[in-house]
Homo-oligomer: A and B are copies of this chain.
Amino acid sequence: MSRTPLHPTREQIELPMVLDCLSDPIRLAIVYQLAQQERVSSELCCGDFSGLGGKSNLAYHFAKLRECGLMQTRVAGTNRFMRLRREDLEARFPGLLDAVLSSAARDADRLPLVSGCELVEGDRK
């Protein structure tokens, strides 16, 4: 089994793929939630997004986010921790991620809600 999932290199990140990835409301919400959480911890695991859909559907969206270079996944035991590839995105397309995130923030009420997901981080081994 792929111990470490495939990620594109920085140079392999393609603009149309990134935009396409961000154009899906669920994936946009994932990225948005990941960005919101960055001040607390830079990582979240799959289960933290359960408010956005079923497990297998989320796994599908996670894969797309990984393949287009937006997210990185780290395997730790039975968990997968994911974080935004901010530095790579910024190097490749300066200002783009921030512009999308602040645009999403303006329309946060139109994003799929994260339903009761308390998001009380703080301790995670």
Which residues of A pack against B, CB within 8 Å? 14-17, 19-20, 22-25, 28, 92-96, 98-100, 102-104, 106-107, 110
A-B pairs, top 5 by smallest CB distance, nearest first, are A20-B23, A19-B23, A99-B99, A93-B103, A95-B99
Counting every copy of the chain, the complex holds 2
Chain B residues within an 8 Å CB radius of A107: 14-15
Known contacts A17-B23, A19-B100; 17 additional CB pairs below 8 A are A14-B110, A16-B23, A16-B24, A16-B25, A16-B28, A19-B19, A19-B22, A19-B28, A92-B106, A93-B102, A93-B106, A95-B95, A95-B98, A95-B99, A96-B99, A98-B99, A99-B100
Asked whether A103 and B110 contact (CB < 8 A) given A19-B23, A25-B16, the answer is no
A28 to B94, CA, bound (A): 18
A-B contact pairs, 14 of them (CB 8 A): A14-B107, A15-B100, A15-B104, A15-B107, A16-B22, A16-B25, A19-B22, A93-B102, A93-B103, A94-B102, A95-B98, A96-B100, A96-B103, A98-B99
